[in-house]
Structure 1
Amino acid sequence: MRPLVSLPAGSSGRCAAERPSAGPVTVASGALRMTLPPLLILVIGIATVLGLIIRLRVNAFIALITAAMVVSLLAPGPMAVKISRVAEAFGENAGKIGIVIALAAVIGKCMMDSGAADRVVRGFLNLLGEKRSPWALMGSGYVLAVPVFFDTVFYLLVPLARSFYRRTGTGYLKCILAIAAGGAITHTLVPPTPGPLTMAATLNIDLGVMIGIGALVALPAAIAGIAYAQWADRRYDIPMRATDGEEAQPLSDERLPSLALSLAPVVLPVLLIAAHTTCKTLAQPELADYAQRLMQQEDQLTEKAAAQRAEADWERGLVRGRWSRVAQVTAVLGNANLALLISTVIALWMYYAQRRPTLSEMAKSVEISLMSGGVIILITAAGASFGQMLKVAQVGAAIQDLFGQSNDAAVGMGLLWIGFGIAVLLKMAQGSSTAAMIIASSMLAGIVQGQNLPYHPVYLATAIGSGSLIGSWMNDSGFWIFAKMGGLTEVEALKTWSVLLVVLGAVSMAVTLVLATALPMAAGV
């Protein structure tokens, strides 16, 4: 989370070494000493990741940990800690996001098994009517892809698209593209989906801000996706075909939970986290006044030291003020770990109340969801460790020195395009949007350290998320899910699904650029 009192940019974690400048790094090995510029270390690190993943098809976790160790060995610091600090950074970052990712996986599984996801879909259909079924399906995918993985959302909603086609005899392609548009865009931009959640932790973005801005960027892109779906439905004559898999049988309304209860696991944590973000913002003037009083009481106290003291006193409950007192409460309830735990309890209770599983069946369901979340946690923490080692190597300061007196706005916009481009490259190379977001954000975190960004770092995250959509083809599991479950040939999927994701990524990037200029908010990482 971002601190209540903003501190000057450029302070790094405990793994970072203090240094006066971003000059060449001296690497010692016995009697040999060689000096490597930080930018060369950056190139070596990126080449290691891309070479292992693209050329050798190595698992992303192994590739990222290997790159982190390579960068750490080349970075400054005592030789004895060069490997241990990689493990420390891994553990620190796993602690930031591990609980949330695991709980989000359990929530998504329970929503599917209890019928809550099905109820949300029917709620949208009832609200918008059959004539607007594509909009209802897009809205359903938009909401459900936040706690539930995209492939599961698509599997849930495809039978409704097929049912719509049987009744109307038209619009099948439009419906499945609408599902894909809603599901894919929030999957890459809105936490607690693992990719956006990881970017928020890696780039030190308040989770409430990431949710709000991510949803704001995603909405115009989803609407553009609907527009493309309507065009593609007129352009391509793709009928509904039989598929290899069995379709899920719809449940009766009596066997589904209420709409309010079904939405609770999604809405409740968002409200709690957003409430804390709001209260923190409203408490900022009180913290600033407190820091100012500290400076008046102690003449030699610097502005930075006063801000740090105010932050520490706020955590101990010593800062007085209406919003500071409220923020003390929301800091507990709005903590992402507790908010998701409360949501998980609701989801588990809902699953039990609707399906009455045995205790062993419930345990098995939770175990399955945790296994899927565990892989993501490993990759996420490895990516964050790689990013931390880039900070140790002083890459951020080197980038700043490279640009010298360049205009901050131009540099900031350039960084947005760099994040977008890296994500596109990684998406095309290895197929996973989540892996592309994790790796790209870890690279950017090392690059932007100490930069005077002209916008909030949340826009770096949305730029990376936008890029992670573009380049979906036959190495992407989402491509095959869309093709096989939708009944399309590979060529048809390339013409429709792949182009749809280009539209989503391009529009969300355009919205990111507009918001970064018109609504820059606070700067600094």
Structure 2
Amino acid sequence: MTLTALLAAPPALPHTRSDGQLLLAAVLSIGAIVLLITRLKLHPFLALTLGSGLLAALAGAPFDQLTSSFSTGFGATVTSVGLLIGLGAMLGRLLADSGGANSIADAVLARSGPRSLPWSMALIAALLGLPLFFEIGVVLLVPIVLLVARRGNLSLIRVGVPALAGLSVLHGLVPPHPGPLVAVDALKADLGITLALGLLVAVPTLVIAGPLFARVAERWVGPLELPAAPAPAPAEQREHTPAFGAVLATILLPVVLMLGKALTDVVVDDPKATLQRIFDFAGSPLIALLAAVLLGMVTLGRAAGFGKAGISRTVEQSLGPIAGIVFIVGAGGGFKQTLVDVGVGDAVGHWAGRLHVSALLLGWLIAVLIRLATGSATVATITAAGIVSPLAAGMSSTHTSLLVLAVGAGSLFFSHVNDAGFWLVKEYFGMSVGQTLKSWSVMETVISVVAIALILPLGLIV
């Protein structure tokens, strides 16, 4: 069988059940996934795989077709998204090992006074958050947060919350992070438009949930003792630190290329025009991230004094930690395809039409429920995008991108004890469970609510 045949969308699995029965099948399968992840501590990849089989069985699919949709969805998702996750991990590791993150922090902090330090931390986190996964960003930012808190004589919450908000907002709303990328793929949204609208929503959301909310959280949590900074990850001995301008240009290159593609598509609007063909190629996610990685090998790796072997080792080491993420994302794609093929998406569309529920609000609510149940923003994004994907069929490209953002916003709602990020923040900042709930968990909720409050009016305007 050819690769094209493997990746081609399969025909919808036959089902004879009513919309109510299909929705019940979806609820039961999602409930099973939640139970497997939270109670039995099963890896999300296995939980999503089993949940997909249960969904197909409950929807009445023939036994020999129980895995066909899952396999196709898994392969298509890994093909479209897995490569981008790998390239993003390479760029993030180059940024970390070369000292590029420290270059950004030093340059911004050198120009900041005590009052502007929380705003500077939000800016630093947003810049670092563009190519980095959330967990990697936290590890990189914690030493900077502790340094800023000591240097500015500010509380840990006052500077830590803006930093966490910067990472989280970018993680949930702005490609090329895995969640938004998968939602873009599932909903067939335009990546450039999603990136532009994501940044438009992210900026005011970050301002409110970061520096402004930090003042409130500081009163709620009270003073915290500054813990010792965690030891940095081992890396090849650096001879130099990359220049701030070179680091910034490397990080922003894929963003500029993808935004350039979106702008050219709107202004030129001629697929045969040479300029648009050039930008369509250079602004495709794969080429944009590949260009950033290749540039980063020079501006980050070589600038830090790494030899060929050192750069190769850094790139190689970046791929190991993301294997689990790729499998979870792929399994989520398989579950999404099963939802679509058995007819659950159409049933949701019929239900939403009868109740006159906004597709944007519906996507946000579904992601919120899955996030609260599983604790995983990525699982919430993938599953919710699959459920509401039929609603995007008749939407304009702008509204489809807003639906991606609505799902991403819902996936950030109220992180609590079933989220690995909750414990990561708690331990690094030396807080109790109650203090973490008052700061980190509420901050995540503020991000989610403010983002959807901005997205819904945008849906009426654009």
The TM-score by the shorter chain falls in which range? 0.7 to 0.9
Summarize the Cα distance change of 1:427–1:243 in structure 2 as closer, same or farther, 3 Å threshold: farther
Matched, 1:276 2:272: no
8 Å CA contact retained: 2:172, 2:411: yes
Match of 2:331 in 1: 382
Distance, in Å, in 2 between the alignment partners of 1:121 and 1:61 is 36
Matched, 1:481 2:424: yes
Q: 2:26 is matched with which residue: 45, 67, 70?
A: 45
CA distance in 1, matches of 2:340, 2:448: 28
**Per the alignment, do residues 397 and 481 of structure 1 end up closer, same or farther by CA in structure 2, a change over 3 Å counting?**
closer
TM-superposed CA distance for 1:193, in Å, is: 1.2
On the 8 A contact 2:155/2:224 being kept in 1, the answer is no
Residue type of the partner of 1:52?
I
Match status 1:205 vs 2:189: yes
Equivalent in 83, 87, 92 of residue 71 of structure 2:
87
Matches within 5 A, 1:84-483: 84-225=68-209, 226-243=211-228, 245-246=230-231, 255-284=240-269, 286=270, 314=271, 319=272, 324-357=273-306, 359-402=308-351, 410-411=356-357, 413=358, 415-445=359-389, 447-448=390-391, 450=393, 456-483=399-426
Give the CA deviation at 1:235.
4.4
SS at match of 1:222: helix
The alignment covers a number of residue pairs equal to 449
1:14 aligns with: 9
Distance 1:335 1:76, change over 3 A: farther
8 A contact 1:138–1:182 mirrored in 2 = yes
Amino acid at match of 1:486: F
Greater alpha carbon shift after TM alignment, 433-442 vs 451-460:
451-460
| 2:130 aligned counterpart, secondary structure | coil
What is the distance in 2 between the residues matched to 1:441 and 1:148? Answer: 22
Give the partner amino acid of 2:279.
Answer: T
> What CA deviation, in whole Å up to 9, does each residue of 1:210-259 have, x standing for no partner?
2111111111111112111022224442133334844789xxx9932112
| Equivalent-residue separation in structure 2 for 1:58 and 1:262 (angstroms) | 39
Q: What is the Cα deviation at residue 72 of structure 1?
A: 4.2
What SS is found at the alignment partner of 2:116?
helix
Secondary structure of 1:239 counterpart? coil
The answer to whether the Cα contact below 8 Å between 1:125 and 1:136 also exists between their aligned partners in 2 is yes
Instruction: Decide whether the 8 Å contact of 1:74 with 1:393 is kept in 2.
Output: no
The one-letter code matched in structure 2 to 1:462 is L
Distance 1:451 1:193 in 2: 26
Cα distance in 1 for partners of 2:354, 2:22 equals: 23
CA distance 1:40–1:266, change in 2 (3 Å): farther
Instruction: Report the Cα offset of residue 455 of structure 1.
Output: 6.2
CA–CA distance in 2 between the matches of 1:232 and 1:50? 33
- The equivalent of 1:294 in structure 2 is none
State the match for 2:3 in structure 1.
Answer: none
Deviation at 1:380, TM superposition (A): 1.6
Any conservation in 2 of the 1:15–1:388 contact (CA below 8 Å)?
A: no
**8 Å contact kept, 2:220–2:438:** no
Query: Alpha carbon RMSD of aligned pairs, Å?
Result: 2.9
Amino acid at match of 1:50: G
| Distance in 2 of aligned mates of 1:352 and 1:68 | 42
Q: Distance in 2 between matches of 1:185 and 1:258?
A: 26
Equivalent of 1:36 in 17, 20, 36: 17
CA distance in 1, matches of 2:251, 2:229: 32
Answer whether contact 2:254 2:289 (CA < 8 A) is retained: yes
TM-score by length of 1: 0.78
Report the alpha carbon displacement of residue 382 of structure 1 after superposing the two structures with TM. 1.9
TM norm structure 2: 0.88
| Residue 49 (structure 2) pairs with residue 65 (structure 1) | yes
Is the Cα contact below 8 Å between 2:33 and 2:51 reproduced in 1?
A: no
Q: Partners in 1 of 2:135 and 2:222 — Cα distance?
A: 25
In the superposition, relative to structure 1, how do residues 60 and 46 fare at CA in structure 2: closer, same or farther (>3 Å)? farther
1:173/1:506 Cα in 2 relative to 1: closer, same or farther (>3 Å)?
Answer: same
Task: Find the counterpart in structure 1 of residue 5 from structure 2.
Answer: none
Partner secondary structure for residue 413 of structure 2: coil
Cα deviations across residues 146-173 of structure 1 (Å, max 9, x unaligned)? 2112233233233333233334433332
Give the SS at the match of 1:457: helix
Q: Which has the larger radius of gyration?
A: 1
Determine the C-alpha separation between the residues in 2 that align with 1:128 and 1:488. Answer: 27
Q: Post-superposition shift, 1:56?
A: 3.5
Inter-partner Cα distance in structure 1 for 2:57 and 2:268: 43
**In the superposition, relative to structure 1, how do residues 233 and 330 fare at CA in structure 2: closer, same or farther (>3 Å)?**
same
- The question of 1:502 aligning with 2:451 is answered no
Q: Distance in 2 between matches of 1:456 and 1:207?
A: 12
Unaligned runs of 5+ in 1: 1-12, 19-24, 27-34, 287-313, 520-525
Compared CA separation, residues 422 and 398, structure 1 to 2 (3 A): closer
> What is the rounded CA distance, in whole Å, between the counterparts of 1:234 and 1:172 in structure 2?
12
- Bigger shift: 228-237 or 115-124? 228-237
Q: Taking structure 1 as reference, are residues 363 and 46 closer, same or farther at Cα in structure 2, changes over 3 Å only?
A: farther
Measured after TM superposition, the shift of residue 176 of structure 1 is 0.7
Q: CA 1:403–1:366 in structure 2 vs 1: closer, same or farther (change >3 Å)?
A: closer
Whichever residue aligns with residue 100 of structure 1, its letter is L
Give the letter for the 1:485 counterpart. Answer: Y
